[in-house]
């Protein structure tokens, strides 16, 4: 029988902003800490690797053909992650060596979309070190659309870890009823919500999803303040002239399947939040409500999900040969 308990680690840190290699090094260091504490699942915030596009709101990012914005986008793209080119190999190797599963928020520059456009992606790496899913954020929020591309449903999948069924969504996707319903239908009982940061995002929705889904919810956020911007950031002076002292304050937290806090939002400091979760609590709360089971009416309402990876071209291999 699969284990009914799991130890999780919510890694709340700031990136080395827009520096892929330095941020990867910091991630590995925190994973070492989590592994030393016996964590079996470690989760990180949205776009942590290599960072959230704060400049868009600080440099008039919607201005057409603006040099500052184009140069920052170039810098962002060159520090984005290409999974196909091996950018996550070190993280995968660490996962395998330490029997540790990982949800990691990245900025992805995928080769299957030409290798230039960027996606806010949530990667799940299992304890054997294999990338099992890459969920590209379905709908970038507001000014994020100026630098991130819209994703698809390919990553709307769940994963088994011990007795738990894991799911994950990026930031405001967690407010979207239908993606949540897609995860409930696949049996999720431990949902990971990744955020760029701040308790104003995590304080309400974390408990809401936990209560609606009768599942554990891990909301994991990053941190960012003016002092976290590297000195070699392009156009740093213009960014800092408009930036508040604190851009994101964390807010990582855990809610149980009854919708009550296990760990309230943690604000203002880098830390790893640990918790031991008991699957029995899910079965207790599903007694009176199960959104995809006994309290659903599929004869009345059903959801269709397109999980095809979207592409602009399909090649006929036989014709090519």
Average pLDDT, the chain: 96
| Cβ contacts of 300 within 8 Å, gap of 6 or more | none
- Which pLDDT score, from 0 to 100, does residue 111 have? 94
Higher-scoring residue by pLDDT: 319, 247: 247
| pLDDT surpasses 70 at 321 | no
Average pLDDT value for residue range 23-27 = 98
CB 259 within 8 A of CB 211: yes
How much is the pTM?
0.96
Could you tell me the pLDDT band of residue 206, with boundaries at 50, 70 and 90? very high
Q: 3-state class of 218 per DSSP?
A: strand
Dist. CA 226–CA 249, nearest whole Å: 12
- Which residues have a catalytic role annotated? 46, 137, 171
- pLDDT exceeds cutoff 60 at 258: yes
Residue where the block lists tokens 């309402």: 301
Rounded Cα distance, 276 and 35, in Å:
14
Q: 171-187: per-residue pLDDT in tens?
A: 999 999 999 999 999 99
Domain covering 5-320: architecture: 4-Layer Sandwich (3.60)
For residue 318, the model assigns a pLDDT of 66
Assess whether pLDDT exceeds 80 at residue 3.
no
What are the structural domain ranges in the chain? 5-320
* b/e sequence 278-291, b meaning 16+ C-beta within 10 Å: ebebbeebbeeebb
């Amino acid at each position: 029988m699969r284990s009914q308990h799991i130890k999780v680690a919510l890694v709340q840190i700031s990136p080395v902003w827009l520096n892929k290699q330095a941020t990867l090094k910091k991630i590995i260091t925190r994973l070492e800490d989590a592994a030393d504490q016996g964590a079996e699942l470690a989760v990180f915030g949205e776009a942590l690797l290599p960072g959230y596009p704060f400049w868009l709101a600080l440099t008039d990012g919607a201005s057409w053909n603006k040099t500052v914005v184009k140069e920052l986008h170039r810098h962002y793209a060159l520090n984005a992650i290409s999974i196909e080119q091996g950018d996550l190999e070190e993280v995968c190797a660490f996962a395998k060596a330490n029997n540790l599963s990982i949800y990691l928020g990245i900025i992805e520059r995928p080769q299957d979309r030409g290798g230039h456009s960027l996606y806010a992606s949530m990667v799940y790496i299992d304890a054997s070190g294999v990338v099992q899913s890459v969920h590209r954020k379905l709908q970038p929020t507001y000014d994020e659309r100026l630098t991130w591309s819209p994703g698809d449903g390919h990553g709307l999948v769940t994963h088994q870890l011990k007795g738990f069924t894991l799911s994950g969504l990026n930031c405001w996707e967690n407010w979207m009823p239908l993606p949540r319903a897609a995860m409930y239908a696949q049996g999720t009982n431990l949902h990971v919500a990744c955020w760029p940061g701040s308790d104003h995002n995590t304080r309400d929705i974390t408990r809401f999803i936990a209560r609606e889904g009768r599942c554990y919810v891990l909301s994991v956020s990053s941190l960012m303040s003016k002092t976290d911007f590297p000195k070699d950031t392009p156009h740093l002076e213009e960014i800092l002239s408009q930036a508040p002292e604190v851009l994101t304050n964390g807010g990582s937290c855990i809610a149980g399947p009854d919708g009550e806090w296990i760990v309230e939002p943690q604000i203002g400091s880098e830390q790893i939040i640990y918790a031991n979760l008991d699957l029995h609590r899910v079965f207790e709360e599903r007694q009176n409500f199960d959104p995809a089971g006994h309290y659903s009416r599929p004869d009345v309402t059903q959801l269709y999900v397109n999980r095809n990876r979207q592409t602009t071209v399909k090649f006929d291999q036989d014709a090519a040969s």
